[in-house]
Amino acid sequence: MLKRFRISARDILILAIACLIGVVNEGSLREAIAVAPTLGNLVDCDIQCGPCTKELAGMTVTMDILPKPVKAMKELKFQVTLSGKKKTGIPYIDLGMPGMNMGPNRVELRPVKNSVYEGQGIIVRCPSGRRTWKASVTLPEVGKVEFVFDVAY
């Protein structure tokens, strides 16, 4: 036997708000899913195969990450090698994801030999499942270069 129930205006309003929140969240999820495959197009560094090199103000900046495969949530060694005429202060690396604020994650480098700098860091696992990361190598008083690469989970 069916029991009678009453729906008040307040109940309808709560239900409408819950549906609206669901649609907004579903829309955001759809947008994130639609954007994720295009991030691979941003990748300009196949760090899993070896070091990557870019030019900056007459200098060559080479970055490598060890050990391979480069995995999230593991202690990693970041290495930057500079060549060219300009002198610079000690470089550093800021890690992040293209198009997403992951909070500060800086790798402080130290000189290990002539024009070679190394530092330890961790690439965190993104809750979204995205694997595309960006390392911004800053050369004080010169500028910065960005390396976009994929990590393994």
Rounded Cα gap, residues 118 and 81, in angstroms: 9
The pTM of this model reads: 0.73
Instruction: Give the tokens for residue 51.
Output: 């070091």
Instruction: Give the tokens for residue 78.
Output: 């970041």
User: For the segment 60-108, what is each residue's pLDDT rounded down to a tens digit?
Assistant: 999 999 999 999 999 999 999 999 877 889 999 999 999 888 889 999 9
Q: Mean per-residue pLDDT for 50-54?
A: 98
User: Which among 80, 68, 78, 77 is positioned nearest to 139, based on CA atoms?
Assistant: 80
What are the φ/ψ torsions at residue 112 (nearest 5 degrees)? -115, -25
Asked whether the beta carbons of 139 and 59 are under 8 A apart, the reply is: yes
Domain 43-150 CATH (choose: 3.10.129.10, 3.40.50.1360, 2.60.40.1930, 1.10.510.10) = 2.60.40.1930
105: left (phi over 0), alpha (psi -120 to 50) or beta: beta
Instruction: Give the tokens for residue 129.
Output: 């499942």
User: For the segment 125-147, what is each residue's pLDDT rounded down to a tens digit?
Assistant: 988 889 999 999 999 999 999 99
